Structure 1
């Protein structure tokens, strides 16, 4: 949880930068970071690229694993959150959701273009 501020608010810590890369300790970067930025953000005209979860494609699967592994102390709050998501239309992932390969991002790798749109998106995270 200590990585939340630098992970999501890099644009606030380094306001003059055009791009940022967050790489979690569980990953090892094997290619040039500029190549990653160009291929996943610039060439795709995207504001952000986030790695896909290695095991789960549906949010409920991730919540059940979080409960099973006791990664979250308040199981009832997690259950209520998932029920709220389902009540508001969360459906299991299916090929109909393409081009999205998963409903579960894994924030081990985050590539961001710093600009008005991405700054607005992540400025509300607390």
Structure 2
């Protein structure tokens, strides 16, 4: 019997001292979230790396989708695919918009571009493709 384990879910961790040094300023400030030191440092470095003036960070993809739709102040229907995580549809509905589902193609499982045009109406305000 083999006793060698393959730890598929074992987290990769830095040395403890390195981790403690990295979070010391967070510990000292007691500011864990929402525009804290690390958050602002990451924003600054990403703006510099991508050469952009404006950049925001989100907790997850759902919030990015929801706030992007909200920022556009859309009304009507959004064409998307049903073959996606539930957050895609939730973000649409939570913005008072109506999802219209476009079937996927069997090659890469993304929206079938041959079927999108037939779904566009005068109520269509956006098309939200996703990747899988």
TM-score over 0.5 for the pair: no
TM-score by length of 2: 0.28
* Greater per-residue strand proportion: 1
Larger-Rg structure: 2
For CA contacts below 8 A with separation 6 or more, give which structure has more relative contact order. 1
